[in-house]
């Protein structure tokens, strides 16, 4: 049976001045990477705070690694949670080595492991430099090393790649992949949808404090109902000849020249369309299926108000 590391049932957090999140339902299976996306102020950080037990829900219930964050009697499970906040900040005058040693001692982690983590995030050469001399990307990487102390089973990462250059981003996702191989569950907030697309198992889209869509990219593509795009390469001069038969199959031609046709069709008629193209034999030289990107899906769902 699939175990869920995070379960939220009808969770709301209403402040006197603002309804931060309303009636949230979603779960994250063990070992899954769930991306949480939404406009500024959509409620993503509030959800993370609820999961961490830093704020209590106005209504609804949460189960985090099998525990209710409200339950003060079972705080030890929190050692299995790592958190990287959006704006990491540490004591400016301490060195990286001193800082990681301090957080390691709080988590009961041995010193050698903290140095191993600093090496993993590429900060070995900066161990003896003061935090205030670190670049934004280095600060972020120190934050990640801190979040990984104590071998967490659940990681909450709020905009983890902000300030990282492309190589450091790549390195960050390499670390994430290794953690996932070990079964770590990850909830990651980000505005950088293009880089998330290849990394996530599932996406939850929030808008105005509500979940407007949640599921795998495939689920979201189905829910969005956007047409499927195909780019077809044909023998020179043959595009016009096959345009009409394709239109007869309910395809819409969006672009065409002698060698190429771009068409859109309903996702449900994908196989019919592919079979039809197969029957055209050697006229068709190549077919490229263009999946709806997370950016396009986000545009669809973020325009919707919560359900």
Ligand X SMILES: Nc1ncnc2c1ncn2[C@@H]1O[C@H](COP(=O)(O)OP(=O)(O)OP(=O)(O)O)[C@@H](O)[C@H]1O
Q: Footprint of ligand X on this chain (CB under 6 A)? A: 15, 17-18, 20, 38, 40-46, 86
**CA atoms of 181 and 203, how far apart (whole Å):** 19
Question: In 3D, which of 205, 238, 225 has the Cα closest to residue 268?
Answer: 225
Q: How far is the CB of 194 from ligand X (least distance, A)?
A: 17
Q: What is the DSSP string of 185-198?
A: EEEEE-S-HHHHHT
Cβ-Cβ contacts under 8 Å for 47 (sequence gap 6 or more)? 8, 11, 21, 24, 36, 206
DSSP state, residue 235: S
C-beta closer to ligand X: residue 207 or 292: 207
Q: How far is the CB of 111 from ligand X (least distance, A)?
A: 34
Whole-Å CA distances, 269 to 185, 243, 246: 35, 17, 12
Contact 290, 229 (CB under 8 A): yes
| Tokens 């055209």, residue located | 280
Q: How far is the CB of 295 from ligand X (least distance, A)?
A: 17
Q: How far is the CB of 211 from ligand X (least distance, A)?
A: 12
Question: In 3D, which of 279, 236, 245 has the Cα closest to residue 265?
Answer: 245
| Tokens 């795998």, residue located | 216
**CA atoms of 131 and 90, how far apart (whole Å):** 7
Query: How many CA atoms lie within 13 Å of 87's alpha carbon, on the beta-carbon side?
Result: 0
C-beta closer to ligand X: residue 20 or 155: 20
Q: How far is the CB of 209 from ligand X (least distance, A)?
A: 6
Q: How far is the CB of 42 from ligand X (least distance, A)?
A: 4
C-beta closer to ligand X: residue 41 or 227: 41
Whole-Å CA distances, 292 to 194, 212, 261, 303: 12, 18, 18, 16
C-beta closer to ligand X: residue 277 or 297: 297
Q: How far is the CB of 13 from ligand X (least distance, A)?
A: 8
């Amino acid at each position: 049976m699939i175990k869920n590391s995070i379960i939220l049932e009808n969770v709301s957090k209403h402040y006197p001045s603002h309804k931060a999140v309303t009636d949230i339902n979603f779960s994250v299976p063990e070992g899954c990477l769930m991306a949480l996306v939404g406009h500024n102020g959509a409620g993503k950080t509030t959800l993370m705070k609820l999961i961490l037990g830093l704020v209590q829900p106005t209504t609804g219930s949460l189960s985090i690694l099998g525990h209710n964050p409200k339950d003060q009697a079972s705080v030890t499970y929190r050692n299995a949670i790592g958190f990287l906040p959006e704006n990491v900040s540490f004591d400016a005058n301490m060195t990286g080595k001193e800082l990681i040693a301090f957080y390691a001692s709080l988590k009961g982690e041995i010193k050698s492991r903290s140095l191993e983590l600093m090496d993993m995030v590429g900060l070995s050469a900066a161990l003896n430099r003061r935090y205030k001399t670190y670049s934004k990307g280095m600060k972020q990487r120190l934050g990640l090393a801190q979040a990984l102390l104590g071998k967490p089973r659940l990681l909450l990462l709020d905009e983890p790649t902000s300030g990282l250059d492309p190589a450091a981003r790549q390195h960050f996702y390499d670390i994430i992949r290794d953690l996932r191989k070990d079964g770590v569950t990850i909830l990651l907030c980000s505005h950088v949808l293009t880089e998330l697309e290849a990394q996530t198992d599932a996406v939850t889209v929030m808008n105005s404090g509500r979940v407007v869509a949640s599921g795998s990219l495939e689920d979201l593509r189905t829910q969005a109902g956007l047409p499927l795009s195909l780019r077809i390469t044909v023998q020179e001069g043959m595009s016009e000849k096959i345009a009409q038969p394709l239109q007869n199959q309910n395809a819409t031609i969006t672009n065409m020249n002698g060698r190429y046709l771009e068409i859109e069709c309903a996702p449900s008629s994908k196989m019919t369309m592919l079979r039809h193209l197969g029957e055209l034999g050697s006229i068709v030289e190549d077919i490229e299926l263009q999946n709806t990107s997370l950016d396009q899906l986000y545009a669809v769902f973020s325009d919707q108000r919560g359900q």
